[in-house]
Amino acid sequence: MPGERAAEGQAGPAEDGTCGDLGGLTPEELRQGQEAALALEDMMALSSQTLVRAEVDELYQQVRPLGQGRYGRVLLVTHRQKGTPLALKQLPKASTSRRAFLYEFCVGLSLGTHAAIVGAYGVGIESAACYSFLTEPVLHGDLIAFIQPKVGGGPGGRVGGEPAGPRPGRCPARPQVGLAPAAARRCAAQLASALEHIHARGLVYRDLKPENVLVCDPRCRRVKLTDFGHTRPRGTLLRLAGPPIPYTAPELCQPPPLPEGLPIQPALDAWALGVLLFCLLTGYFPWDQPLAEADPFYEDFLVWRASGQPSDRPQPWAGLAPAADTLLGQLLDPEPRKRSAVSCVQAYLGQPWRQQEGPEGAGP
């Protein structure tokens, strides 16, 4: 989360009133992002006036921790009068500005109506040491615990970056890697739909990874996206902060088109969705970072894309069926303008994504 937004600008018209250099953004795309930014500013101003000033324990009973991120922790609590179970995300004031809190709170609130996005209750709380907000609790952990890693890892290492080998508590004899085929397709469909919903509101999610996908049931039938601290209006100018990860789109790794940075586009999320689907199907990352000069697995992928020859197919892609090749080829187009929108997933849901797919419905 909460990146302070002061350092972020937005691509905009040139001083002479023309559209100027929008860093590749069309005027319509720019308008969408500006409208989203204005709507969020309004919502933040209203929410700021209605924050509940109280200590969390006065209102809610703590049950147990649900998770910890870099910026905040999430607790399962119950409402003291009603007993309703709720998830409470707490962001310490020491490391979170009021503006950054309001931003994450309002983005979550504006998006939480979608079935595959964690629902928000519209209750923001200011305590002495923390800002907090309430969301629906999703009690089966995050997707990382459901992805069976390939023993020995893959090119870019195991998803989640834990030591190799089956995880404690999961069936060690199961040959399955990644997610079971039906569960992978269900996840893909729900996440693509959630991202479409975000993009249609002029926003870019920017943080797609299994840790931000919460699982609603033991068979991973329903999932929900959470954590909107990195979400920004389309066209926000951003630079890569820190080293790239497998989910980072290649255009963010290149020198930006404008001095202030790259105007962000939904194509960033399409790339991350492609990488996540690869992980769901194989149990490992396709590469460490999308830099041909630094990552031989990414370089092999580019060579295969350019030639289209089966003999150039990189070994990590070996188990994928033709439909998955085509789908991932569209989402992982290195050229953002040619990359397909996340909605392209829907066209491939009826076809096998892995060679020798097991029986449908075989969940983890």
Ligand X SMILES: Nc1ncnc2c1ncn2[C@@H]1O[C@H](COP(=O)(O)OP(=O)(O)OP(=O)(O)O)[C@@H](O)[C@H]1O
Annotated binding site for ATP: 89
The site for ligand X (CB under 6 A) is made up of 1, 66-72, 74, 87, 89, 118, 135, 137-138, 142, 211-212, 214, 226-227, 229
Least distance (Å) from ligand X to the CB of residue 66? 4
Closer residue to ligand X, CB minimum distance, 76 or 277? 76
Ramachandran category for residue 157: left, alpha or beta (phi over 0 → left; psi -120 to 50 → alpha):
left
Asked whether the beta carbons of 246 and 275 are under 8 A apart, the reply is yes
Q: Pairing between strand 223-225 and 213-215?
A: antiparallel
Least distance (Å) from ligand X to the CB of residue 265? 21
List, in sequence order, every beta strand (DSSP E) within 69-164: 73-79, 85-92, 120-126, 130-135
Q: What is the CA radius of gyration of the chain?
A: 21
Closer residue to ligand X, CB minimum distance, 107 or 342? 107
Least distance (Å) from ligand X to the CB of residue 8? 17
Least distance (Å) from ligand X to the CB of residue 169? 16
Cα separation, 198 vs 11, whole angstroms: 20
| Residues in binding site | 89
* Phi, psi at 351, each rounded to 5°: -115, 155
* Phi, psi at 182, each rounded to 5°: -65, -40
Asked whether the beta carbons of 361 and 182 are under 8 A apart, the reply is yes
Closer residue to ligand X, CB minimum distance, 123 or 320? 123
Q: Show which residues are catalytic.
A: 207
